[in-house]
Amino acid sequence: MSETNQKILAKIRNLLSLAEDGGNDEESQTALLMAQKLMLKHRISQQEVSDKERPEIILRSLSVYKRLYWWEKVLVKIIADNFRCMFYIQSNRLPHQQSVQRKIVLMGFPEDVDLCFQMFNIAADTMKYYSKLHLTQLSAEELRQSSLSQLRKSYYQGFMDGLKEKFDLQLKSMMKENEKYALIIQTPQSVKEKFNREITGLLTFNQPTLSRSNHAYEDGFQKGKNVNLSQGQLDHQSDSSQ
């Protein structure tokens, strides 16, 4: 691996480490887009970040077996689609358990899986932080119209829709510079082939009832879509890592 790529990877890992500390939610939100931008801008692929010519394809669980929430399944697809991974749901029930427990499992090259794992947790923590902040600022009228549970669901969906749109817009912007970025971000074909050979079944779940026409959804959408650093600042920080 070149010295330049080592510095880029170190910058990504440091950024993610800062975001995971939870001390600054703005850093967490920015980390999601910064990491993807660095991957695209400098064409970081598995061949560049691995010491092996043909890196192994690994599995990594996002959690222990537990009750999965609907938003986890929505969010992991957004993250996996943008960070070169596949995923599936694994189920288990021990003799003493009354209900089936599940977990989400990521599949991909080691560096991609590691980044995807960190991105998912940063996105989830940031979404929860902003949702809690929004709910504490609700008016009495808003609380009379909907329950906290319903408003939280709307906020979560808005945040994830906004985050997805932000990733899509960022990729389109990068493709204007170089169309190869569209290929770089795609999940490697060997990962897709292994997934298709070994994983069966479909990802299905009941989408909860929620509203996309309230303030909670709109605020969540704007938070998910917008980062707190300008494009120029992002470009400056990316270039300064070389």
Q: Which residue has the higher pLDDT, 214 or 177?
A: 214
Q: Given the DSSP bridges, would you call strands 58-61 and 86-92 parallel, antiparallel or unpaired?
A: unpaired
| pLDDT at residue 221, as a whole number | 92
- Average model confidence (pLDDT) for the chain? 77
The share of the chain scoring above pLDDT 90, in percent, equals 27
**Averaged pLDDT, 89-111:** 85
104: pLDDT strictly greater than 90: yes
**Alpha-carbon separation of residue 155 from 23, 92, 127 (angstroms):** 22, 31, 8
Q: Which of 60-64, 205-209, 216-220 has the weakest average pLDDT?
A: 205-209
Q: Which of 33-42, 136-145, 171-180 has the weakest average pLDDT?
A: 33-42
Q: Name the token pair of 62.
A: 């996002």
Q: What angle, 0 to 180 degrees and rounded to 10, lies between the N-to-C axes of helices 70-82 and 148-177?
A: 10
The pLDDT tens digits for 173-194 are 877 877 777 777 888 899 999 9
Cα-atom radius of gyration of the chain, to the nearest Å?
19
Pairwise CA distance, residues 49 & 1, whole Å: 7
| pLDDT at residue 233, as a whole number | 33
Pairwise CA distance, residues 93 & 99, whole Å: 7
Q: How many CA atoms lie within 13 A of 177 on its CB side?
A: 11
